Structure 1
């Protein structure tokens, strides 16, 4: 399976190129074309920020889960060692 970062990057680059090409080739006035490009760029930025936020949330969740798992394992090891010392 492809790396998700490359897939997302490719999608964003393709979307940006598609938006730009479509607007530059459209038969509109220069001012209207520039406005469409700006609006499309803003939407693309917002979509990218949402994707980044979602990815960061997933990474934080995974990180916190791993920290909790390691803390439990460490506590269990300490408890087992303590029991062996007592015995």
Structure 2
């Protein structure tokens, strides 16, 4: 994500610098040049604001998706553990029943 945002910032900065240099070296009156620089700066600011908003939306969406995935995985783990616990309890009950029967037989034989 930071690599992508660095690239975008670099491209925007390059665009602004290039436009500014182009305007400065263009044969025009100072007032027109300042006005064009101001307009270009405002346009660049608007582009950066829009891109920042898009990045924020993407990050928010990604975090939300990852949270849902994590919640689903956690729910699956809890469900699996619950089933395993139920299996263990059932097995222990069977073993207890077998031990009780063996104990009864031993008590009768004594």
Assess same fold via TM > 0.5. Answer: yes
Higher Cα Rg, which structure:
2
TM-score (norm 2): 0.70
Spell out, residue by residue over 1:28-85, the C-alpha distance to the aligned partner (whole angstroms, 9 max, x if none). Answer: 2211111111100010011111111111111111111100000001111111112222
CA RMSD in angstroms comes to 1.3
- The Cα shift of 1:23 comes to 1.3
Consecutive unaligned residues in structure 1, runs of 5 or more:
none
TM-score (norm 1): 0.87
Aligned residues: 85
Spell out, residue by residue over 1:1-44, the C-alpha distance to the aligned partner (whole angstroms, 9 max, x if none). Answer: xx323321221111111111111112222111111111000100
Matching residue of 1:21:
21
Consecutive unaligned residues in structure 2, runs of 5 or more:
88-110
Answer yes or no: is 1:7 the counterpart of 2:1: no
Runs of 4+ off more than 6 Å: none
